[in-house]
Amino acid sequence: LAKTTQPISMDSYEGQEVNITCSHNNIATNDYITWYQQFPSQGPRFIIQGYKTKVTNEVASLFIPADRKSSTLSLPRVSLSDTAVYYCLVGDPGSNYQLIWGAGTKLIIKP
Amino acid sequence: NAGVTQTPKFRVLKTGQSMTLLCAQDMNHEYMYWYRQDPGMGLRLIHYSVGEGTTAKGEVPDGYNVSRLKKQNFLLGLESAAPSQTSVYFCASSPSGRIYGYTFGSGTRLTVV
């Protein structure tokens, strides 16, 4: 199973764009990159998923370079409510197997 | 639409006691999972089920048992609680094994004294 590496924590300010980078050097050819968000005392919530290049939805953008050994979650114009832990996961979306959840990145947004 | 509901939300057990955590989902999902999360750490898979009547071990299954008698329910049992099982337990469900489709419950905070 591929392992991911993320910064333990990040700080930013309201209104700024935040980029969280995840390293996944051993990603398999058919693996996708998926990001989840977790608020205190809640279960994780799906944010975005991608395979290559760029994916955008109403919440975030995901940038994946050609070698796919890393990916960057971009949160535009963050607010205080974006304070949460963000997890990067890699895996085959078509198979049911154990995902490896790292400690994630604790993002703190300041006013 | 309730999604995934976990009961109870909080529980304190004495060492050696037993208990069952209930997870119920109303989305007709085939797959269900039980995770534990310790402070400052990611989730670790305890057991999972790919359909009614089936269960399988995850990363940390020791000390836990599960049952999936009905498609909508996934029960996690602790036969003899130990302080090392103090954790927050999350249940999740998904329509398939696809990792983008997980819906999590709000968790059960268990303390074993």
Q: What is the DSSP string of chain B?
A: ---EEEE-SEEEE-TT--EEEEEEESS--SEEEEEEE-TT--EEEEEEESSTT--EE-SS-TTEEEE-SSTTEEEEEESS--GGG-EEEEEEEESSS-GGG-EE---EEEEE-
Which strands form A18-23's sheet, in the order they lie side by side? A18-23, A70-75, A61-64, A53-56
Q: How far is CA A27 from CA A43, A66, B31, B36, B42, in A?
A: 25, 12, 24, 25, 19
Q: Do the Cβ atoms of A81 and A18 come closer than 8 Å?
A: no
- pLDDT tens for residues B8-44? 999 999 999 999 999 999 999 999 999 999 988 888 9
pLDDT (0 to 100) of residue B95: 85
> How distant is the Cα of B75 from the closest Cα of chain A, in angstroms?
17
- Report residue A94's pLDDT band, with 50, 70 and 90 as the boundaries: low
Q: Per-residue confidence at A41, pLDDT binned at 50, 70, 90?
A: confident
Query: What value does the mean pLDDT of chain A take?
Result: 89
Q: Which of B92, B94, B88 is nearest to B104 (CA)?
A: B92
For A43-91, what is each residue's pLDDT tens digit?
Answer: 999 999 999 999 999 999 999 999 999 999 999 999 999 999 999 988 7
Report the percentage of chain B scoring pLDDT > 90.
81
| A17 contact partners, CB below 8 Å, separation of at least 6 | A74, A75, A76, A77, A78
Chain A residues contacting B, CB < 8 Å?
32, 34, 36, 41-46, 49, 87, 89, 91, 93-104
pLDDT in tens, B35-58: 999 988 888 989 999 999 999 998
Whether residue B104 and residue A45 make contact (CB cut-off 8 A), yes or no, is yes
Q: Which of A32, A99, A100, A105 to mutate to test the interface with B (most CBs of B within 10 A)?
A: A99
Q: Given an 8 Å threshold on Cβ–Cβ distance, is A46 in contact with B45?
A: no
Residues contacting residue A62 through CB under 8 Å, at least 6 positions apart: A33, A35, A48, A49, A50, A54, A55, A56, A71, A72, A73, A74
Q: What is the predicted pLDDT for the residue at A96?
A: 52
pLDDT over 60 (residue A1): no
CB contact under 8 A, A34 and B40: no
Write out chain B residues lying below 8 Å of A41, CB-based.
106-107
CA atoms of A47 and A36, how far apart (whole Å): 5
Residue in B59, B90, B98 closest to A43 by CB: B90
